[in-house]
Every structure is written in C-alpha cells, then in structure tokens.
Amino acid sequence: MKKIIKHINIRNSVAFMMIGLTLTVSSCKKFTDLVPNNSFAEEEAFTTPDRVAQAVTGVYSAAQAGAYTDGTNRGYPFGAANTEQQDARGEDVIAVPSFYLITYETTNATNSPNGTAMWETLYALINRANVVIEGVQGAAAKNVITADLAKQYEGEARFLRALAHHELLIHFARPYGHTAGATHPGVPYRTLPVNTPERVTQNNNQGRNTVKDCYDKILEDLNYAESNLPPTYSSASLKITHATRGAAIAIKTRIYLHMNNWAKVVEEGNKIVSLTAPFKSTVGSYELASSPDAAFAQNYGTNESIFSIENNTNRNSGTNGAISTMYSKAPGRGLIAISPIIWNAPFWKANDLRRTLLANSDASSTVAARAYFSNKYRDPATFTDANPIIRYSEVLLNLAEALSRTNSLDLRALALLNAVRNRAITNVADQYTIANFATPNSLVQAILDERRIEFLAEGHRWGDIHRLATDATFTTGGIPAKVSFAGTTFASWNASTPYTGARSVVAIPYADYRFVWPIPLSETTNNPTLKAQQNPTW
C-alpha cells in the first residue's frame, strides 16, 4: 500500500515530509504553500526533476512557516518569529503588551507557546531537510537528476539544517564558552529523516549532543553547502531567498564568532570581503548600499542582502505574526517598540540617519506619540517584507570584531566599522579615526555598540547577549534589565540624554536557570532521554 505524504505533525518533533497543497497540523487549520503542487506518495516524491525541485522548495517553505501551537502561521521559525523572539529576549526593544511579554519578562514555562513553537518548527524544518537530502541522493542514484544538481539541492537543505540547529542552540543551550571545550549539553543534532516507525522510535529516544559536537556538525553542513552551492542565481529574488555559496560563508563568520574563534572568522570573512574599501565581494557581488535604509526600502532587492526568508501575499504570518505588523506603527500593530535604552544610548549619535530613515514615532494628526518604532518593515497591509537572516553589513562587522580582537588597533577593522557606520554618520567630525581609540578593547566595544544600532529590530541582540555572556571583558552578565512599556511616556525617548528611568523588568544573571529556555513539555513527554536531560531547574 502506498503511503501518501500530505501532513506534517510537528508534535514531539516527529515530522513527516509533506509535498502538497497544504501544510496541515494537528489543529486541522491550513495555510497554502509558497508554490502549490499536488500531493505525492512518498516513494514517488523524487521520481521526476520537477517533483524533486518542488521538494526542495518545500524545505524553504518549512523555514518560512511552520505552525504555531494553535495551528496558525505566525512565521515560525524563520518567517518572522526568530527575529521577534530574539529581539524580545534582549533589552533594545520593548514588548508592548501582550504578545511578547513572556519572552520579554523571561517568565517561560515548559509549555510556553513561544519556546514550544520554536522547538517544534525548527525540528520540523530539520526533518524536511533530512527527507530531501535522502531523497535527492536517491534521485541522483536513479539518474532522475544529475549528481551535480543533487549536490546543490543537498547543499541548500544542509544550509537550512545548520541554520535551524544554531537557532536551537542559542535558545536552549548555554553558549560555546560555557565550559572548556564546549562539552556541556547542546541540542539533539538530527541528520536522519523521521519517515519510518524505526526512525520514529530512534527520534523519540535521541539525546542531546554536546555544544561542541553541534557546532562541528553545523560547520560540516555549511562547508558542504559552500562547496556545492552556486555563487548566485539568475533570478533577482532567488539569489537572496535561496542558499548560495556566499550565504554559507557568511553564516560561517557568525558561527565562528559564537565559538570565539577569531582566526576562523577572519579566514571565512576574507573569502567574501575585499582587503580594502569599498569592500566589494567577488563571491555573490555583495556590497553595502549607499544608504542605510536601501536594503529595506527595496525589500530584498540590493546586493547588501545575502540571505532572506521570503514572505508574499499568499503566504505570510498575517496580523498575528508578520514582521511588519509587529514592529511597525499604525497601520501595523506596533507590538515591539524601540527601547529608550538604545534610543538614548550615548554611542548612538543624535544625527545618525538611521534615526530618521529606519525609525519613526507613532504620532498622527489625531493621536499623540507614545514611542518610537522600527521602520525597517514597510508593508503591514499585505505582509510581504522579507525577513533578513544575514546582510553584508553583518559580515563586515563580524570580520571587524575578529580583527580587533586578535591585533593591536587594527586599521582594517576600523575601516570595516566605518564602512557600515559612515553611511549613517555623515558629519565628518563624528566619524571615527584611529585617534578615537586608546586600546583594542575600545575598538571592540565600538563595534559591539554599532551592532546594536545597525541590527536593531533584526533579531540579533539575543545572539550577542548569548555569545558574550561568558566573555571576560564584554559580558552583559546575563539578561540585562529592561524597561516596562507601562512605565514610559514619550519623553522617555530622548536622543540627547542617556536613559535614567526605571528598568522594572529586572536583570537575570547568567548563572540563573532562566538564561536558557526549557526543552518543551511536548518533547520531554515523549522522549525519556531528553526528559532526563532537561535544562537544570526547569
């Protein structure tokens, strides 16, 4: 009897491959795929080149929209939710009641929807990637597709598998530097599809790999992707929304930064960043846009965008999850505001163009302003803003940080920092020279400060808090204290005066068990191994 693969059940991370018109979850609510197609029997899914291509598209579909715990599309894991949840874990935004308060105030439980949905949809994505990897290998063996095309498709799937495992690590595990050799518990690194009863059993008993083992496997996947992905695609949108050689290298600079492996950040960064300004890339033709808002004004249409997740009018996270409606003032819902902690920070110059081009207040002719909101995502009506996973500016700042950590005051590091910063700081007197820095650490601090400004509302702050938590010089000490929206007035936002108001959402020390999320109850109920390996105290 043929087994028709039409459903993906994300409960317990036991997810079966779906290549079909709808992605159906246990609640029976449905939403359409990016590319609608027919449902195939599993053994037929990789029998023609077209079906193989559709299967690969399905992996991107799973990255854009798994299902929230109520079965709806809220952009989990990478359509929007990774950005929203990571930002809400940090102090540079404010959760405007009520969507993100659990994340913002770190009042998680083992059955909290935010953590549960991230875990389940990330592993659903991983499983779909694993099904495709196995499927394209079989298709190549049967001469359905060429060996080279099979390797490209596998590279795309392994790129997304690596991205998903890293997202799991920064939420559910302590950072790489927590123990010598990173021997502490990471997450289960899953490389086999769960598509037989035997594999279901194996999945439901798999334990946690060490953090080191997870990072080694992430790099193995990304190295394979780099070796087998094309440098670009002919379609303008595909070269941003599908994995490329440059995207694999770019993500590796991020991974090595989390490992504190500065030499490898430099090695990878040098593959796609020229030695001198204006720092154009020979791989993927990446370059900074002349204006700090161009990558957002043109959605994903500039050479600054390296990899983004597509949202479109037919498949998006809607009013309850879309990145535009969450971050934007009316007609968006404005549920994530910019915090006065970062808005008033002395290192963020009052004349920085990002204050006017990429942020605005919610004042109108009839309503007084209550806060400042991001203006990076500009389609709160039809929710088509792409979710930027990595931009070229991040690669430049990753490389700048690594250079400044390994050398004396490094002129190339300064030039990389200035390349990003000076397109927003046009007053020459406010632009950095080497004389502004007395020590290498002061340059590192400037780079870290720049990251907070440049990537505000892009979901990067938690990643930096996480990786720096064990840094002897630059640690935040844990989760910083935050501002409660109820305790602010519009006067709280003042670019000329550091914020001195109340931070009533108290800081959480790194040693506190709440620094990491618990493995969800939906997983530990069915996996006795992970139940015994739950993060302490949860």
pLDDT at 80 over 90: yes
- Distance (Å) of CA 262 to CA 181, 259, 347: 16, 8, 25
CA separation (Å) from 456 to 200, 287, 304, 331, 358?
Answer: 40, 20, 16, 21, 9
532: its two tokens: 């015994």
Tokens of 103: 């994340």
Instruction: Find the mean pLDDT for residues 303-326.
Output: 94
Who has greater pLDDT, 127 or 40? 127
pTM equals 0.93
Lowest-confidence region among 30-44, 101-115, 157-171, 514-528: 30-44
Nearest to 463 by CA among 265, 266, 254: 254
Rounded to whole angstroms, the Cα distance separating 66 from 317 reads 10
| % of the chain at pLDDT higher than 70 | 92
For 459-480, how does the pLDDT look when each residue is reduced to its tens digit (9 = 90+)?
A: 999 999 999 999 999 999 999 9
Domains and CATH numbers, the chain: 4-314+388-481+507-532 (1.25.40.390)
Paired strand residues for 338 = 93
| pLDDT exceeds 90 at position 237 | no
At residue 187, what is the residue type? V
